[in-house]
Structure 1
Amino acid sequence: MAENLFEKLKNSLVKTKKSFSGKIDQLINYSGVYDEDFFEELEEILILSDIGYESTNEIIEKTREIITRENITDKVKVKNTIKSVVRDILKKDEDRHREINVPAVILIVGVNGVGKTTTIAKLANMYKSKGMNVMLAAGDTFRAAAVEQLEIWADRVGVPIIKNAQGADPSSVIYDALQAARSRKTDILICDTAGRLHNKDNLMKELSKMNKIINNSSDHFSVYRYLVLDATSGTNALSQAATFNEVTKLDGIILTKLDGSAKGGIIIPIKNQYHIPVEYVGVGEGMDDLQEFMPEDFAEILFE
């Protein structure tokens, strides 16, 4: 990773590092013996950091096993053991992390307020900067001003947008966008969707209809379904991942607002429980502040 990208990621993890690894450092330095009391306190830190019970138990058990087996008493080695266990969890399913095969359709899902619109703009900007022809589809026809907001971003990035009036059938927008993308030889079509998670039945029907339309074009387009999650939402992000993965099989996750959150560790249970690759992380408000997720760098920064 280029130095400036590494520094951006490092700066975005300051709050998470303080609340997560900072407390682990204090525990390790305070504890002279790594016994059951130590592991109980470590467990409490992990759970309060929104790591979740399942992932916390895995981290505790694997760390305890290594420390006991290798008779580790050195404080630095104890910390490195925890880091290596966390890093291994973050590296799970890395074989599913892949380059986008063009021409491609990217369906962006997520609840309102997680930063879907700006994430779509950042994705479009990133792909355009790589020399690709990008198009947007304004598939969120329910939220007031959603189409207008996406249109503003499309104009800023300098990419075309396919839209319809507010309240229109979102699937018809996706259909029109697919036809336009095919005829214009577009490399990447990024589709916005409504985030009405409170009405799961409607959400399921809507996304099912969209998926059917997109799958009918899969002979021409590679299809990717990305869920946008807000890092500041903590364990709420886990329930969102569960619901959307049930409604539409997810190919990846984009974690936004990492720079404004002390809960960046939520990446750990997301990867561990749902086996969905984290594709990108948002490390700032700038158009270039969307990075590919690098688990090695994330773990290194978290524990340095």
Structure 2
Amino acid sequence: MTTSARPAMPVAWVALLVSVGLVGATLTVLAPSAAAAPDTASKAQGWQEAASQLGSAGSLWEPGRTAGLRMTKPVDVIADGLTFANGEARSGDTYAGATYGALRAASTSRPSFTIAEKWGDTGWAAEPAYSTSMAPVGSVVIPLGSPGTQAKVTAQVFANCFVQPANANPRPVPAGYRCSKADVARSGGVLRMTARPASTMTAPGRTSIVITTAGLSYAQLISIASSLEQVSGGGGEVTGSAQMVAMCGQMVDGAMTYEKAAAFAASNGYSMRAGTIDGEPQMVTMDFRWDRFTVSLVKNLVTSCTYG
């Protein structure tokens, strides 16, 4: 089990998604500020693990088609300042992102793409940054889900086709300036959309998604986006998700009694038990449950949590 005393107070997470590579910009990397750190930051070997590391109040979306490219490093998972009520995130920031293909010097011979995602009702814990050369290509309808039960969402597609001066400050992209579909392959592309499941049976699944490509065609970008499949949080062997850590902070900061904390946990889909009461260990089973808090109580107030 993982132990958590009172979590650190939320602080600003400053992250720059730096774009390099083709004319314009497409390869994305995280560059965190040394002066700030999020409440939770971890790495996952896949999207299911990443979703579980965030928690059950949201979903991520995993590509089924990747233009033949493999994920080249673990999924970065970041959460900061989260609060919850009745199974929903009410404030805070989230992020999950991964790169497929080349990590540096991406080109048509060494293509790559990056997916950045956040729960729909939160802010970005690592804000995607865009090239100053980015201009619209147009909108496209993306079908998500299995045939017959698909949700159709509208995505905005961009390319980095506007040529900026080499030795001067970037100029604003003129109003009405447009890139072509062919520019996506030549200069890099960006697709932005909010994914959602076709049925409320798999909610919550509303997720903001940004796909950034280098060396891939417009058709390949649309193919990747159309192949996204919902990955729900919760379950698995992840101990102490970002959601659970944040909820423990709400229990401690809110001076919740055992009864109030247990009701709070249950209203968000979690269970709770007492591990120690006024310093005295209680008899508890040693089985693992991903959705269980074991709390320490002093004068019937929650002072810390373990998970699992």
- Higher relative contact order by CA 8 Å / sep ≥ 6: 1 or 2? 1
More strand by share: 2
TM-score interval (norm. to shorter): under 0.3
Which is richer in helix?
1
TM-score by length of 1: 0.23
